[in-house]
Amino acid sequence: MKLTQLSTSQLAERERQLETQYQRHKAERLRLDLTRGKPSTEQVALSDAMETIIEGRWVLEDGTDVRNYGGLEGIPAARKLAAELLGARPDEVIVGGNGSLPLMYQYLLCACLHGVQGPETAWRTERGPIKFLCPVPGYDRHFTICEDLGVEMIPVPMTAEGPDMDRVETLVGHDPLIKGIWCVPKYSNPTGHVYADSVIERFARLAWIAGRNFRIMWDNAYAVHDLDDRPMPLTSILDLCRRLGTEDSVVTLGSTSKITRAGAGIGFMAMSAANLNAFRQRIAVYTIGPDKVSQLRHVLFLKNLNGVLAHMQKHAAILRPKFETVLRHLESGLAGSDMGRWTRPRGGYFISFDAQPGLAKEIVRLAGEAGVKLTPAGATFPYGRDPDDSNIRLAPTYPSVNELDQAMRVFVTCVQLAAVRQRLAKA
C-alpha cells in the first residue's frame, strides 16, 4: 500500500493509529542500540581458545622470539595468513596494530606528508588541496580520516555493482587533484553490496587515467564475512593490477576485528613492493614493531584461509537470524509501500535503509525518543551531510534477536509515522 493512494482523512486516521502505537513503544522504556558494527558477545567468545593457544611456542621457525623486539612487517606466518585473506603475496603484506584503521590513517598521512613513493610524490606538494572520491553511502571513519587530513571529499553514488564507475572515471579524468578513492569492495559498509568483476577490472585500470600518485584504498573489512554457507570469492585486485602493471595504484586492507576480537585483533595491509618499501621507512620512525605475540595467537588459532572460513561459519550461524529478524520487520511493515527501500546483504555488518527524502533525521529522532538508538542520519555521507536526508544504517550484529525484534517494531513504526506525517503536510 502506497501513501500516495490514501486520502487526507485516511492519512489522518493512520497517523492517529501510529501515534498511539508509538506512544505505546515509548511507554516500554526500551534501551536498545543499533548504532555500531560491533560483534556480539557470543561472537567474540568464539575465539576464546586463542588466549591459551601458544603453550610455550614463543620462538618461530626463523628463530624470532615473539616476546622480544624485532620485525616491522609482522611475523611470516601472519603475513602469509593476511595474504590469503587479502588476495596478495606474503611479501606484499604488513601486519601491524590491533585493527586496520590506524594503518589507513598512517598510510594516508604518509601519502600527504612524505609521499607514497618518496618526498617528490607527497600530496602536499600538489598545486592545491587534494581530493578523494567517496562512494556513498559509506563508512564514517573513512570520511573522518579525510576530514582530519584536510582532504576534500567528493561523493560518488554506489550501485548494487559497486561505485558508479562512469562517474569515477570522468571525475578522475577531469581533476588531477583527485588522488584517491575509498572502497569497501565486499559487503560494502553500509549497503552490503559486493563489487562486480567488471567494476574491479575498471578499478585496476584506473591508474591509466588517474596517474601514478593516485591510490585506491581497498578496505576489505568484510573479506570473509559471509552470512550464508557459500563464501563469495572476491577477485583479487592486486592480481589484476599486477597483470596490468598498475599494482602501485592500490592499497588493500583488512583485519580480524570481526573474525576474532574487536579491538584486540590484528590489522594488515598489502601493496606493491615499491609502495611497501616507502611505507616501511615511515613505520620505522614511529614504532618498535607490532605485537608479535598477538599475531602468533592468531596464526595458531586460525591457521589458514580454510581455518578462517570454517570459523566464519560459526559467526554466520549467530548473525543469520539477526539479519533475518531485521529484514522480516522491514518486509512485513514496509514492503510494497513508498516509505522506504533497503538492502538484503549476503554478508557484512549492516543493512542500508533509505527513507523518503527528508525523513532520515526525523526517523532517527523518533526512534531515539522511544529508546532505540540509531546511527545518526548523515553519518554515511562525507561531512555528515546526506543531501537527501534519506539514508539510515542499521547494525543488527550486537543486540540479541529478541532485542532486534523489539527495536525493529519501533523502527518500522517510526518510519511509518514520519512518512504519514510528511504526506499529510504535503496534502
Residue among 45, 273, 317, 427 that touches a second copy (CB under 8 A): 45
Between 39 and 231, CB nearer to a second copy: 39
The answer to whether 172 and 206 are in contact (CB under 8 A) is: yes
Element (H, E) at 132: strand 131-136
Between 288 and 425, CB nearer to a second copy: 288
Size of the site for a second copy (CB under 8 A): 47
Q: Is 148 in the site for a second copy (CB under 8 A)?
A: yes
The answer to whether 221 and 254 are in contact (CB under 8 A) is: yes
Which residues 6+ apart lie within 8 Å of 422 measured at CB?
356, 358, 359
Q: Is 336 in the site for a second copy (CB under 8 A)?
A: no
Residue among 5, 31, 120, 285 that touches a second copy (CB under 8 A): 285
Rg (CA), the chain: 23
Q: What is the DSSP string of 227-294?
A: SSSSPPP---HHHHHHHHT-GGGEEEEEESTTTS-TTSS-EEEE--HHHHHHHHHHHHHH-S---HHH
Quote the CA–CA distance of 427 and 424 in Å, as a whole number: 5
- Can the peptide bond before residue 190 be classed as cis, meaning omega within 30 degrees of 0? yes
Q: Is 27 in the site for a second copy (CB under 8 A)?
A: no
**Quick one: which segment of 33-41, 76-84, 231-239, 346-354 binds a second copy (CB under 8 A)?**
33-41
**Quick one: which segment of 3-11, 137-145, 156-164, 207-215 binds a second copy (CB under 8 A)?**
137-145
Residues 70-99 that bind a second copy (CB under 8 A): 70-71, 97-99
Residue among 126, 152, 169, 291 that touches a second copy (CB under 8 A): 291
Residue whose grid cell is 609521499: 115
Q: Is 65 in the site for a second copy (CB under 8 A)?
A: yes
Q: Is 48 in the site for a second copy (CB under 8 A)?
A: yes
Which residues 6+ apart lie within 8 Å of 109 measured at CB?
149
Q: Is 42 in the site for a second copy (CB under 8 A)?
A: no
Between 69 and 402, CB nearer to a second copy: 69
Binding site for a second copy (CB under 8 A): 36, 38-39, 41, 44-45, 47-48, 51-52, 54, 56, 58, 65-71, 97-99, 101-102, 105-106, 109, 141, 144-145, 148, 257, 261-264, 285-294
